[in-house]
């Protein structure tokens, strides 16, 4: 037996007859704290979104473009190829002077008629120069009319101009004109000359068929 002490009875605590059941207080407290934090966060976001003007909406977040650290160079777009038509562009038609050969024939005949005549030269010699440029009828007429054979001597150069041309481009059968002939002596001669297509050839050439010195 133990001796009694003065402290006996003061510290005696009645032990419960049955143990008190344990209550899970810690889990409930954690849940309450999480709920309070969520409410606080929602309230703070709502106040911030209404207080800041122009804040981006939560429903349409801003998408920021990201730049690749090693971008691949863009492939150059080739220039469009111009397609040209193979059909050549028609050139405007030029009017052809069908009587240009007739004028040239008349001028050459006049030059041979006047140039390099000397004293003692016969008509036969002169006619030989004219024959390629005149019709057979013209040669026969000139041989039979000595008056139309006359011309100044020692002429070395002549100038020929035409006026009063008569011609039908639709029916180019005859070209005639008044020729003004200026000799190198200064003398001027006027004559009527006519040229027709060469009836003795098929090349469409022209020959003098009429010559008449005007007064």
Residue 181 half-sphere exposure, CB side, CA atoms within 13 Å?
A: 27
Spell out where the chain has E strands: 158-166, 175-183, 188-197, 206-213
CATH of 100-213, one of 3.40.50.620, 2.40.40.20, 3.30.1520.10, 3.10.450.540: 3.10.450.540
- Kindly report the pTM of this predicted structure: 0.56
In this structure, are residues 134 and 60 in contact, taking their beta carbons and an 8 Å threshold?
Answer: no
pLDDT band at residue 123 using 50, 70 and 90 as cut-offs: very high
Average of per-residue pLDDT values in the chain: 77
In this structure, are residues 141 and 123 in contact, taking their beta carbons and an 8 Å threshold?
Answer: no
Where is pLDDT greater, at 115 or 89?
115
pLDDT value at residue 63: 47
Find all residues with CB under 8 Å of 130, minimum gap 6, and list them.
109, 112, 113, 139, 142, 208
In this structure, are residues 126 and 117 in contact, taking their beta carbons and an 8 Å threshold?
Answer: yes
**DSSP character for 125?**
H
How would DSSP label each residue in 28-85? Answer: HHHHHHHHHHHHHHHHHHHHHHHHSTTPPPSSSPPPPPPPPSSPPPPPPPPPPPPPPP
pLDDT value at residue 171: 77
Query: pLDDT tens digit string along 19-77?
Result: 555 555 566 666 667 777 777 776 666 676 665 455 444 444 454 444 545 555 566 67
């Amino acid at each position: 037996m133990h001796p009694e002490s003065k402290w006996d009875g003061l510290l005696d605590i009645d032990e419960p007859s049955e143990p008190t059941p344990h209550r899970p207080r810690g889990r409930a407290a954690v849940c309450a704290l999480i709920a309070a934090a969520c409410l606080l966060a929602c309230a703070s976001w709502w106040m911030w979104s209404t207080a800041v003007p122009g804040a981006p909406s939560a429903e349409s977040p801003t998408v920021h473009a990201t730049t690749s650290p090693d971008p691949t160079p863009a492939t150059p777009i080739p220039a469009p190829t111009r397609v040209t038509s193979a059909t050549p562009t028609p050139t405007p038609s030029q009017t052809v002077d069908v009587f240009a050969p007739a004028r040239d024939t008349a001028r050459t005949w006049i030059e041979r008629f006047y140039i390099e005549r000397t004293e003692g030269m016969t008509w036969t010699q002169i006619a030989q120069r004219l024959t390629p440029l005149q019709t057979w009828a013209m040669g026969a007429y000139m041989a039979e009319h000595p008056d139309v054979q006359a011309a100044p001597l020692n002429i070395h150069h002549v100038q020929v101009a035409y006026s009063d041309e008569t011609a039908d481009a639709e029916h180019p059968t005859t070209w005639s004109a008044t020729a003004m002939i200026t000799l190198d002596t200064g003398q001027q001669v006027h004559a009527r000359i006519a040229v027709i297509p060469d009836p003795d050839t098929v090349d469409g050439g022209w020959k003098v068929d009429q010559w008449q010195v005007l007064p």
